Amino acid sequence: MANVKIKPIGDRVLVQHIEEKEQVRGGIIIPDSAKEKPQEAKVIALGTGKKGEDGKVTPFEVKVGDRVLISKYGGTEVKLDEKKYTLVREDDILGVIE
Amino acid sequence: MANVKIKPIGDRVLVQHIEEKEQVRGGIIIPDSAKEKPQEAKVIALGTGKKGEDGKVTPFEVKVGDRVLISKYGGTEVKLDEKKYTLVREDDILGVIE
Amino acid sequence: MANVKIKPIGDRVLVQHIEEKEQVRGGIIIPDSAKEKPQEAKVIALGTGKKGEDGKVTPFEVKVGDRVLISKYGGTEVKLDEKKYTLVREDDILGVIE
Amino acid sequence: MANVKIKPIGDRVLVQHIEEKEQVRGGIIIPDSAKEKPQEAKVIALGTGKKGEDGKVTPFEVKVGDRVLISKYGGTEVKLDEKKYTLVREDDILGVIE
Amino acid sequence: MANVKIKPIGDRVLVQHIEEKEQVRGGIIIPDSAKEKPQEAKVIALGTGKKGEDGKVTPFEVKVGDRVLISKYGGTEVKLDEKKYTLVREDDILGVIE
Amino acid sequence: MANVKIKPIGDRVLVQHIEEKEQVRGGIIIPDSAKEKPQEAKVIALGTGKKGEDGKVTPFEVKVGDRVLISKYGGTEVKLDEKKYTLVREDDILGVIE
Amino acid sequence: MANVKIKPIGDRVLVQHIEEKEQVRGGIIIPDSAKEKPQEAKVIALGTGKKGEDGKVTPFEVKVGDRVLISKYGGTEVKLDEKKYTLVREDDILGVIE
């Protein structure tokens, strides 16, 4: 994965797409027919955190290395060393795959 | 139901669809003509909880195992071990079937 | 009315439709031409209550047994023992018929 | 006006339409060309009051018997003893006619 | 101006249109080409005031008699003694002409 | 600039357009192709200030005489002594030209 | 870069576009097919800061000189000494390139 070159701002998280062939065997299969198809991804870097009115930062519910499901329409794609990454807000992370 | 593999984030809840043939006999029948047809489901896993401005987590009104009615248009479908699951926000749970 | 089988979540209320023939004689008649035609219904079950930021629950303005007018486009229909019920948010209840 | 049979919920107010022929002579005439034509009405019943976050109820600015101007597109019509009533939110009351 | 017959509710203000021929000579001319053409008017009556969460009323920035510029699309017209009045929210008052 | 005749209300600011020929030489040139083309203007008068819930007024970030860039679609135009002015909310001021 | 001539207001930041040919070699490549293509830019000047209800200013997460990714549809372009700049809100800065 080399050296990560993007530090997300605020409540954003940098995640790396997991190609379908690499996805957990016998595990989660996302149906093609799903109206809003989520995508499996790995958390690469956490943002600087979401700040409340009082300046306190809310800790993230995910950590670097987590396998997560992200909402398909959330986030912005970037490419780094030939791999697709996505900058998503934490609220676009639906769940952690355990 | 095997081992659940998804931990929902925030105020999300993982629910499992209950096939119509399995639905409570003599019980709740959702009319076909209903404009927004709710679906019967079982709560499989609760999220990490919704956090307020002060960082306090609001407890969920439902618990694992509850049979619930969910709004049809809420949530994101995933498939796990050949069963359909849905990640919904707690606000998309209309009621608990007792 | 048998045993109610749905416990509404949050600020939702379960109401039962009152068929037009059963409606209060000489009483409230909702004009057909009304742009947003309200419906007469009976309160069957109150929800778990709306929680504020501080976790305090706001008491409902209606109680079980009240005859109410509900906004036509509010709520989600379910059928139980051959009767139509609707899960509405308390804000969709326009008034109590006294 | 007989006995009022509807108790409005929350910040809603029950008002009774004043037919044009009954309107204050030499007084307020609402131009036909007005983009949003207000209607003259009489306040029949006040709601249970709007509650703030802290549970305190905000007192109404109008009282039973007031002649008011209401926004034409606000509210829900009901008919009671052959007269038209409207359930409006207090914010749809533009002013009191003195 | 006779006796004003409307007491505005909340943060609304009753203003009277100033016909173009009466407008301040050599003063403010509102270009026809302006996308949102404001109108000159005179403040006739202040509302009951905007209430905050704590019930405190915010004082108005304008006073009875002020010549003001109002946003063209704000407010509701009424006619009183053959003169056009408009009920506007204070936020639709752009400025006071001095 | 004569005597200014408009006192803006709330967080509004009165600015005067700077004709292109008068714009800072060798300075800021706003490209024609810009999707949202900002305009250079001079601050003529500050409003009465934006009030918070507690009645406290937030001081303006700009002062009378500042050369500013304003968002093209913000504000309402008025003409005064043959010059174009615009009433804008402070949030439509993008920056101060130094 | 000469002398910067724009001081952004509020939570805005002035950034300078980095031409594609100047972009980090072997580094971040933004795919053409990306639905919302971000752009690389350099932070030139920070705004006066975003003020909370209590008047406290939230510090920026970026600093002058940072290389950042900005959302393509955010901000307003200006040209200064033949270079393109953009005034963006800090929330339109997706991440810092390290």
Domains observed in chain D: 12-20+34-97 (2.30.33.40)
Three-class secondary structure of residue D98 per DSSP = coil
Tell me if C98 and D51 make a contact (CB, 8 A cut-off): no
DSSP letter string, A42-90: EEEEE-S-EE-TTSPEEPPSS-TT-EEEE-TT-SEEEEETTEEEEEEEG
Partner chains of C (3+ C-beta pairs under 8 Å): B, D
Q: Categorize the per-residue pLDDT at E33 as very low, low, confident or very high, splitting at 50, 70 and 90.
A: very low
Q: Is the CB of residue F55 less than 8 Å away from at least one CB of chain G?
A: no
Residue C95, amino acid: G
Report percent pLDDT > 70 for chain E: 76
F95 → closest Cβ in G55, G84, G87: G87
Contacts of B38 in chain C (CB under 8 A): 76, 78, 87
Tell me if F84 and E56 make a contact (CB, 8 A cut-off): no
Give the mean model confidence (pLDDT) for residues B42-70.
90
pLDDT at residue F14, rounded to an integer:
96
pLDDT at residue A74, rounded to an integer:
77
Min Cα separation G31/chain F (Å): 23
Q: Name, of A60-69, E76-85, G18-27, the range with top average pLDDT.
A: A60-69
> CB under 8 Å, gap of 24 or more: what pairs does E26-29 form?
E26/F81, E27/E97, E27/F5, E27/F80, E28/E69, E28/E97, E28/F5, E28/F6, E28/F78, E28/F79, E28/F80, E29/F79, E29/F80
Judged against a pLDDT cut of 80, whether residue B52 lies above it is answered with: no
Give the mean model confidence (pLDDT) for residues G5-22.
85
pLDDT at residue E82, rounded to an integer:
73
Q: Minimal Cα distance from A49: which residue of G?
A: G61
pLDDT at residue F34, rounded to an integer:
44
Q: Minimal Cα distance from G71: which residue of A?
A: A76
Q: Is the CB of residue G49 less than 8 Å away from at least one CB of chain A?
A: no
Tell me which of C51 and A92 has the higher pLDDT. Answer: A92
pLDDT at residue D35, rounded to an integer:
47
Q: In whole angstroms, what is the distance from residue C78 CA to residue B30 CA? A: 5
Interface D-E, measured as beta-carbon pairs within 8 A, has a size of 70
Q: In whole angstroms, what is the distance from residue B47 CA to residue B56 CA? A: 14
pLDDT at residue B36, rounded to an integer:
52
pLDDT at residue D5, rounded to an integer:
85
CA G64 to chain centre: 10
G78 → closest Cβ in F26, F28, F54: F28
Give the mean model confidence (pLDDT) for residues A5-32.
73
pLDDT at residue F50, rounded to an integer:
86
Q: In whole angstroms, what is the distance from residue E59 CA to residue E74 CA? A: 20
pLDDT at residue G54, rounded to an integer:
73
pLDDT digits over F48-62, tens only? Answer: 998 877 778 889 999
Q: Categorize the per-residue pLDDT at C9 as very low, low, confident or very high, splitting at 50, 70 and 90.
A: very high
Q: Categorize the per-residue pLDDT at D16 as very low, low, confident or very high, splitting at 50, 70 and 90.
A: very high
Q: Minimal Cα distance from E90: which residue of F?
A: F9
pLDDT digits over C73-96, tens only? Answer: 778 888 777 778 899 999 999 999
Q: Categorize the per-residue pLDDT at A34 as very low, low, confident or very high, splitting at 50, 70 and 90.
A: very low
Q: Is the CB of residue C50 less than 8 Å away from at least one CB of chain B?
A: no
Interface E-F, measured as beta-carbon pairs within 8 A, has a size of 68
Q: Is the CB of residue C10 less than 8 Å away from at least one CB of chain B?
A: yes
Q: Categorize the per-residue pLDDT at B1 as very low, low, confident or very high, splitting at 50, 70 and 90.
A: very low
Q: Name, of C51-55, C81-85, E92-96, the range with top average pLDDT.
A: E92-96
Residue F18, amino acid: I
pLDDT at residue E45, rounded to an integer:
96
Residue D33, amino acid: S
Interface test with D, best of C35, C60, C61 (most D CBs within 10 A): C61
Among B29-33, E56-60, F84-88, G10-14, whose mean pLDDT is lowest? Answer: B29-33
C-beta of residue C91 within 8 angstroms of C-beta of residue C47: no
pLDDT digits over C26-37, tens only? Answer: 455 555 444 456
Among C17-21, D33-37, F90-94, whose mean pLDDT is lowest? Answer: D33-37
